[in-house]
């Protein structure tokens, strides 16, 4: 099913007799497999409002991400939260859509500076599991009493409603960017350097570490003179001897980190861990020093584990339970994703809240049932 407008979407959801598999552009095959009729939001496409002076954009949920980025680039603007293109890591086809980005709260390396996708979302329109059109935030300001629908929908993975439109704040592209690169570092030394950079007054917009080659990266953006000054200060204070990448070389390197390219091309299970940055070295050591990409200064760990058995689920869950945080199985076979918890199991109080929200917005339980466990 592929509705061409919001009214058709509402009618299709209301008429559904069984489970619906909600998809945007079909690029994120994440979560437990969903058995149901496919409902695509790709037909709800197009930028309906763009005010560069107000740094505001409104688009249909099915609008290709590339189209939005092209429109913004024409005014020297961008999406601040730097959304990942999952096709590289997951080996999927399709076209990333802005609705899919918001539904998964996709947030890249710049999150440490500007926040997550949900922090750039001003408003949403969506259809709930009964076929009712709901809206809040942005231009509409018609609230469903007691709920911040923008924050609820960002990261709900289509389990509370099907997005039809999103309103976003955007950002001017800075004049310059540069990245410091340190090589041959241990995880502990790299994370210490990244933590020092993030704790400095130099307004770092990216801080990452690749276990392969022991490479650490620190990015700054802004006016050219300011970027040069901050780079020199960090070289003097915390990144002595680190190489400098500028312009497109820096941008290309951060696209690779954003898309977790170093972990693509294998058959391993890929896990995404959100943890305390200072715990990253211990976590990597305890898991056998797997190939990993550490973003957000070590607070986000992407790591590869053998697909065999439980795909490393027991070990990953154990270390996260001990040190705190949460883990998501981002890539794995259908069989693996059916047999292990893909998303972090919720504590009883939080699980009760989640159940209540699903009962409120999808009382029939037809929207991506079972996807999140």
User: Regarding the domain delimited by 6-172, which CATH topology (the fold level of the hierarchy) does it fall under?
Assistant: 3.30.465
pLDDT reported for residue 292? 97
CATH of region 261-339: 3.30.70
**pLDDT tens readout for residues 154-210:** 999 899 999 999 999 999 999 999 999 999 999 999 999 999 999 999 999 999 999
Domain 176-258 and domain 261-339 have a common topology? yes
Spell out, as residue ranges, where the chain has pLDDT lower than 50.
Answer: 138-143
User: Regarding the domain delimited by 176-258, which CATH topology (the fold level of the hierarchy) does it fall under?
Assistant: Alpha-Beta Plaits (3.30.70)
Write down how long the chain is.
373
Q: What pTM, to 2 d.p., does this model score? A: 0.90
**pLDDT tens readout for residues 24-38:** 766 666 766 677 889
Domain ranges of the chain: 6-172, 176-258, 261-339
């Amino acid at each position: 099913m592929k509705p061409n407008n919001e009214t058709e979407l509402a009618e299709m959801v209301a008429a559904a007799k069984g489970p619906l598999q909600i998809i945007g552009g079909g690029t994120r095959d994440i979560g437990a497999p969903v058995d149901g009729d496919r409902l695509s939001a790709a037909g709800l496409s197009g930028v309906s409002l763009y005010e560069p002076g107000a740094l505001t954009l409104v688009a249909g949920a099915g609008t290709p991400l590339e189209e939005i980025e092209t429109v913004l680039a024409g005014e020297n603007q961008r999406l601040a939260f730097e959304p990942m293109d999952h096709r590289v890591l997951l080996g999927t086809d399709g076209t990333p859509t802005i609705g899919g980005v918001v539904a998964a709260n996709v947030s890249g390396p710049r999150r440490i500076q500007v926040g997550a996708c949900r922090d750039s979302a001003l408003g949403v329109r969506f259809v709930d599991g009964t076929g009712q059109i709901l809206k809040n935030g942005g231009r509409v300001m018609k609230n469903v009493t007691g709920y911040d629908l923008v924050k609820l929908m960002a990261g709900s993975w289509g389990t509370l409603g099907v997005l039809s439109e999103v309103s976003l704040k955007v950002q001017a592209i800075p004049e310059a960017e540069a990245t410091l690169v340190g090589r041959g570092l241990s995880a502990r030394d790299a994370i210490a350097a990244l933590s020092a950079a993030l704790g400095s007054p130099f307004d770092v917009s990216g801080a990452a570490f690749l276990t392969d080659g022991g490479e650490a990266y620190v990015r700054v953006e802004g006016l050219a003179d300011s970027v040069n000054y901050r780079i020199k200060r960090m070289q003097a204070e915390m990144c002595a001897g680190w190489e400098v990448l500028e312009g497109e070389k820096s941008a290309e390197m951060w696209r690779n980190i954003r898309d977790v390219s170093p972990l693509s091309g294998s058959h391993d299970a890929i896990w995404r861990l959100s943890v305390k940055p200072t715990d990253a070295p211990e976590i990597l050591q305890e898991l056998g020093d797997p190939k990993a990409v550490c973003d957000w200064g070590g607070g986000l760990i992407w790591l590869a584990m053998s697909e065999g058995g439980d795909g490393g689920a027991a070990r990953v869950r154990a270390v996260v339970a001990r040190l705190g945080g949460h883990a998501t199985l981002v890539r794995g076979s259908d069989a693996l994703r059916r047999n292990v918890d893909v998303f972090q199991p919720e504590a009883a109080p939080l699980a009760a809240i989640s159940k209540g929200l699903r009962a409120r917005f999808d009382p029939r339980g037809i929207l991506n049932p079972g996807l999140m466990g």
